[in-house]
Amino acid sequence: MKWQKTKKAISNIGSTLSLIVLAVILINVVTSKMSGEYPSIFGYQMKAVLSGSMEPDIKTGSIIFIKITSEGDRFEKGDVITFITKENVLVTHRITEIKDGGSRFITKGDNNNGPDLEPVHIKNIVGQYTGITIPYAGYLFKITESQLGAALLLFLPGILLVGYGLITLWRTMRIPEKYKDSEAQTSNK
């Protein structure tokens, strides 16, 4: 019997912590989008991964945390970096080769057959992958990039709270009717 209660308590704590973490991330994403900045927590930026080029380590639809690079950072073969391409697209791939004394890098997605076509210049590196991943949260993160998605994330919780309040109020108003019905049945006996 005690094991069942302990198991239920652990499950409730785990669920609550997961919801809190997701709520903090959601609030962070929405507020950073409104201010025009990239979402970050404790100095680490969050990036959504929406391709399978780094699977199985980084699943499609995940959020990854990267440490923003600063001048003088050194990278090694095997480091996973996030960089900007010529097309102004963020890509997260692994360094497979270092060129020109550490100023250019050949990169490759773990799930890709060959290396990327263009070497990455050190100035185009945004950050280095920290190894922290939240699976599937990237889809939600991507939705917030549109104005409609951000608006829904701002208004949807309010609408849900109002709906929950109305349902609770309706249930509360029905309680006296149940008591009246039970009192009438008791007095008829």
Residue 83 confidence (pLDDT): 93
Name the pLDDT band for 100 (thresholds 50, 70, 90).
confident
Kindly report whether the peptide bond that precedes residue 119 is cis, defined as omega within 30 degrees of 0.
no
Q: Which amino acid is at 1?
A: M
- Strand ranges across the sheet with 40-41: 40-41, 44-49, 62-68, 125-134, 80-84, 90-99, 104-108, 120-121
Of 131, 136, 121, 138, nearest in space to 67 by CA: 131
Average pLDDT over residues 47-58: 87
Task: Kindly report, residue by residue over 71-98, the tens digit of the pLDDT.
Answer: 767 889 999 999 999 998 889 999 999 9
- Out of 11, 15, 32, 51, which one is annotated catalytic? 51
8 Å CB contact between 31 and 54? no
pTM recorded for the entire structure? 0.61
Residue 51 designated active-site: yes
Of 136, 41, 129, 135, nearest in space to 91 by CA: 129
Task: Kindly report, residue by residue over 3-23, the tens digit of the pLDDT.
Answer: 777 877 787 787 787 777 777
| Phi, psi angles (nearest 5°) of residue 36 | 80, 15
In terms of residues, how long is the chain? Answer: 189
8 Å CB contact between 32 and 145? no
Helix then strand then coil, % of the chain, to nearest 5 = 45, 25, 30
- Name all domains of the chain by residue range, CATH numbers in brackets: 2-159 (2.10.109.10)
